Amino acid sequence: MKRVPEKYAELAAEQIISPELLNQIIQESIRTNAPIEDLLLAAGVPRHELLKALTGFYHLPFLEYDEGLLASSDVLALVDLEQLKKELWFPLLREGDEAHVIVSHPNDRKLCEHIKNRLRVGNLHLLVALPSDLIRLIENHQDVNPHFPPAAGRTPLARLRTWLADHRNLLAQHRTSLAKGRTGLAFVRTGVSFISIGLVLLRIFGVGYLIILEAALVALGLAMTVDGIRWYLPARKVGHECLRYPVTEHTFGTTILEVKTDNERPGFVRTPPIQNAEQLRGRWNRLSPIMKRRFLAIDRTDLADERTILATYRTAMARARTGLAFARTGIASIGLGTALLRQFATGPWTILDGFLICLGIAVIFEGVLWYIPGRQAGKECHRTLQETPNHHPIWDFMFQPFHSQVSVDDLPPILAIKGTYGPGIWGTTGLALERTLIAERRNVKSRLRTIMARSRTGLAFIRTGTSVFSVGMGLLVYFGLANPFWTVFNVVLVLIGTLFIADGYYWHLPAMRIKKQFPYCFGDMEIVLPDYGKPSPGWKKVVFSHEDL
Q: How far apart are CA 207 and CA 203, in angstroms?
A: 9
Q: Confidence band (pLDDT; 50, 70, 90) for 396?
A: low
Query: Which one-letter DSSP state was computed for residue 62?
Result: B
Q: How far apart are CA 465 and CA 502, in angstroms?
A: 8
Is the model's pLDDT at 4 over the cut of 60? Answer: no
Is the model's pLDDT at 334 over the cut of 80? Answer: yes
Are 265 and 245 in contact, with CB atoms under 8 Å apart? no
Is the model's pLDDT at 243 over the cut of 50? Answer: yes
CA angle 172, 174, 179 (to 5 degrees): 95
φ and ψ at 342, to 5 degrees? -80, -25
Mean pLDDT (whole number) for 411-435: 65
Is the model's pLDDT at 468 over the cut of 70? Answer: yes
Q: Which helix (H) or strand (E) holds 270?
A: strand 265-270
Q: How far apart are CA 12 and CA 21, in angstroms?
A: 9
- Residue 103: its pLDDT value, please? 93
- Give tens-digit pLDDT for 138-189: 888 888 888 888 888 888 889 889 988 988 898 888 888 888 888 888 888 8
Give the other-Cβ count within 10 Å of 95's Cβ: 12
- Residue 195: its pLDDT value, please? 84
pTM: 0.74
Q: How many CA atoms lie within 13 A of 294 on its CB side?
A: 28
DSSP, collapsed to helix, strand or coil, labels residue 513 as helix
Q: How far apart are CA 28 and CA 35, in angstroms?
A: 10
DSSP string, 126-171: EEE--HHHHHHHHHHHTT--TT--GGGSHHHHHHHHHHHHHHHHHH
Q: How far apart are CA 36 and CA 55, in angstroms?
A: 16
Residue 268: closest CA among 252, 277, 278, 255: 255
- Residue 548: its pLDDT value, please? 54
Which neighbouring-strand residues pair with 98?
A: 95, 123
Which residue did the predictor score with more confidence, 111 or 248? Answer: 111
Give the other-Cβ count within 10 Å of 193's Cβ: 16
- Give tens-digit pLDDT for 88-147: 999 988 888 899 999 988 888 899 999 999 998 999 999 999 988 998 898 888 888 888
- Give tens-digit pLDDT for 274-323: 888 888 887 777 788 888 888 889 889 988 988 988 888 888 888 888 88
Q: How far apart are CA 33 and CA 322, in angstroms?
A: 60
The CATH code for residues 5-147 is 3.30.300.160
Mean pLDDT (whole number) for 34-61: 86
- Residue 241: its pLDDT value, please? 65
CA angle 3, 5, 10 (to 5 degrees): 140
Domain residue spans of the chain: 5-147, 154-410+424-548
Q: Are strands 98-103 and 123-128 parallel, antiparallel or unpaired?
A: parallel
Q: How far apart are CA 325 and CA 370, in angstroms?
A: 10
Q: Confidence band (pLDDT; 50, 70, 90) for 519?
A: low
Q: What percent of the chain has pLDDT over 90?
A: 6
Mean pLDDT (whole number) for 74-93: 88
Written in H, E and C, the secondary structure of 408-460 is HHHCCCCCCCCCCCCCCCCHHHHHHHHHHHHHHHHHHHHHHHHHHHHHHHHHH
Q: Confidence band (pLDDT; 50, 70, 90) for 521?
A: low
Render the burial of 311-321: b for 16+ CB within 10 Å, e for the rest: bbbbbbbbbbb
DSSP string, 181-234: HHHHHHHHHHHHHHHHHHHHHHHHH-SSTTHHHHHHHHHHHHHHHHHHHHHHHH
Q: Confidence band (pLDDT; 50, 70, 90) for 395?
A: low
Which residue did the predictor score with more confidence, 247 or 94? Answer: 94
Q: Confidence band (pLDDT; 50, 70, 90) for 512?
A: confident
Mean pLDDT (whole number) for 442-469: 86
Mean pLDDT (whole number) for 441-450: 86
- Residue 91: its pLDDT value, please? 92
- Residue 220: its pLDDT value, please? 92
Q: Confidence band (pLDDT; 50, 70, 90) for 1?
A: very low
- Give tens-digit pLDDT for 469-499: 888 888 888 788 878 888 888 888 899 889 9
- Give tens-digit pLDDT for 525-543: 677 777 767 777 778 887 7
Residue 326: closest CA among 228, 243, 241: 228
End-to-end CA separation in angstroms for the chain: 77
